[in-house]
Chains A and B, each alone.
Chain A
Amino acid sequence: MQSTASMTEQSLALQRRLSTFTRVLSTKAPIARTPKELVWTLNKAKLYRYTPLMPAPQRHRIPLLLVFAIMNRPYILDLRPGHSFVEFMVSHGYDVYLLDWGCPGIEDKGTKLDDYAMEYLPRAIRKMKAVSGSDIFSMLGWCIGAILTTIYAALRPEEGLRNLLLLTAPLDFSNRNHVTFAKWTDEKYFDIEKILDAFGNMPAEMIDYGARVLKPVDNYITNYCKLWDNLENPRAVDAWHAMNTWVTDNIPMAGAAYRQLIVELYRKNALIQNQLHIKNQRVDLSKIQANLLTVIAEGDHITPPCQSEAILRQVSSIDKEVYRIPGGHIGIMAGSAAHRTTWPHIEHWLSSRSR
């Protein structure tokens, strides 16, 4: 009888595990829950202001604008309650804004990096200044957001940018042996015009596939094994669920912007060589004067460290710092240890420069 009871208990426990496993894989986690209000829209782009927790006299004077990549959802910065970079910064007295680029449609296939960096971003910044009442601001760019913020900082150095933070910034494509994407998108193998003729925009599924295939076993098998192993740990399951919700929520990339990314940056490496032209202006990185913090993920297989180092030699900023941290492209900001390492460092660096 004891054996039967034990077997029954084990069956029920296994059933619970299977139920949790299925639920996590088939539903969306509650994410991006930090209170915010929409303050500006343009086409698909939206600028959100997060509700401050402190009264104005206690807040940092200089607002912070968060700019993420254009082919992923930006709520990775506000992943889940209790583990959100936005929540962390708001609780430390920052006036935080988030620029959501939105999901491009076929009508946006002609949108270039020029438009993102010099049409949408300046307008969003203009609105942020009006809402915050401050002409000085800080800006954090992550991944391709770092490319856009760098372009803006170089072309508009006199428009109030005090602090520039670049996270895992893919700016230098000279070391092709270390940049896997550079090999895959070489003009010998990758006909970008054929893809864009077929689809208009770069499909989200292809972008997702490309990111996952960098570590195929980890992304297609091991991650699910780790979930299975931790099914009885509710915190681990919630964390996995939230991350999986974001990872599977990809959006396409505007065709013209993708073409520029591959041809001008990956193939010609124009940005770091000061040969990139945006809106008929040459992007000269030496024009960047803002205080600069570059965060490099040492285990980043999407943007290897070598891609984020050269910028420090190019800018004219007097106050500049590089912060190297073990971790992956997303893990350094969304991983379980981010609130103990990356976030406090960013906050500490900004704190003295936001008065």
Chain B
Amino acid sequence: MREITARRGPEGIFFALFRGNRMTEVKDENTRHSDPFEPFRGLRDSYLNAMSKTMVEAVNTETYAQATGAMLDYCLSASAPFRDVLEKSMAQALQQLSLPSRQEVATLAERFTNMEMRLDDLDAKLDRVLSVMAAPRDEGIKPKPRRARQGGKRG
């Protein structure tokens, strides 16, 4: 097994985009001053780098996982009764209007998918049959040798 390691600086999704596209250091005076944040860039970058490392460590803890899970669980539990009521009232309304429910449409779509799979399989079988039928013609079919008749000719 071979192992190869490429060497270049670490980069993230967006940082990689700018790695080869850094702005030139020589800028037009007016252009530089069009960015009101220019004087604070160094301070900003230092602060963001420090915060980034802190936050990456923070989200990688069991405490964060527990807190996120608890919040998600609370939101889902709190919204569940409203979702149930909405679903039931919607189902009743659709029934009154003689319209299909979302579940009925989804079931129909599933059946369409199964039919599509069968058609795809049929299509593939047809392709194979056609290719098999085409192959002997390309090779040239040799005529079968005629069997000698017994009892002489007719007539």
Q: Do A and B bind each other?
A: yes
Contact A186–B65 (Cβ < 8 Å): yes
**Please, which residues of chain B bring their CB within 8 A of the CB of A228?**
35, 37
Closest A residue, CB atoms, query B10: A299
**Please, which residues of chain B bring their CB within 8 A of the CB of A82?**
none
Contact with B along A268-312 (1 / 0, CB 8 A): 000000000000000000000000000000110100000000001
**Please, which residues of chain A bring their CB within 8 A of the CB of B110?**
107, 110
Q: Top 3 A-B pairs ranked by shortest CB distance?
A: A335-B16, A189-B69, A13-B34
User: Residue A218 at the B interface, CB < 8 A?
Assistant: yes
How distant is B14 from chain A, measured CB to nearest CB, in Å? 4
Give the residue of B7, B36, B56, B72 whose beta carbon is less than 8 angstroms from that of A326. B7
Give me the interface of B with A, judged by CB distance under 8 Å.
Answer: 1-21, 23, 27, 30-31, 33-37, 41, 44-45, 48, 51-52, 55-56, 59-62, 64-66, 68-70, 72-73, 76-77, 79-80, 83, 102, 105-107, 109-110, 113, 116-117, 120-121, 124, 127
Closest B residue, CB atoms, query A14: B34
User: Residue A1 at the B interface, CB < 8 A?
Assistant: no
User: Residue A99 at the B interface, CB < 8 A?
Assistant: no
Q: A188 CA to B51 CA in the complex, in Å?
A: 28
Give the residue of B21, B35, B106, B120 whose beta carbon is less than 8 angstroms from that of A239. B21
Q: A247 CA to B116 CA in the complex, in Å?
A: 31
Contact with B along A308-327 (1 / 0, CB 8 A): 00001000000011111111
Closest A residue, CB atoms, query B51: A217
Closest B residue, CB atoms, query A6: B30
Residues of A230-268 at the interface with B, using a CB-CB cut-off of 8 Å, are 230, 232-233, 235-236, 239-240, 243, 247
A43-B21 contact, Cβ under 8 Å, with A198-B83, A217-B55, A328-B11: no
Closest A residue, CB atoms, query B79: A198
Contact B4–A323 (Cβ < 8 Å): yes
Closest A residue, CB atoms, query B127: A130
How distant is A215 from chain B, measured CB to nearest CB, in Å? 6
Contact A180–B60 (Cβ < 8 Å): yes
**Please, which residues of chain B bring their CB within 8 A of the CB of A130?**
124, 127
How distant is B111 from chain A, measured CB to nearest CB, in Å? 9
User: Residue A54 at the B interface, CB < 8 A?
Assistant: no
Contact A217–B30 (Cβ < 8 Å): no
Between A and B, 8 residue pairs with Cβ closer than 8 Å are: A13-B31, A105-B106, A123-B121, A183-B65, A189-B70, A232-B31, A239-B18, A326-B7
Contact with B along A29-68 (1 / 0, CB 8 A): 0000000000010110000000000000000000000000
User: Residue A205 at the B interface, CB < 8 A?
Assistant: no
Closest A residue, CB atoms, query B4: A323
Contact B17–A336 (Cβ < 8 Å): yes
Contact B30–A10 (Cβ < 8 Å): yes
How distant is B37 from chain A, measured CB to nearest CB, in Å? 7
Closest A residue, CB atoms, query B75: A198
Q: A29 CA to B85 CA in the complex, in Å?
A: 41
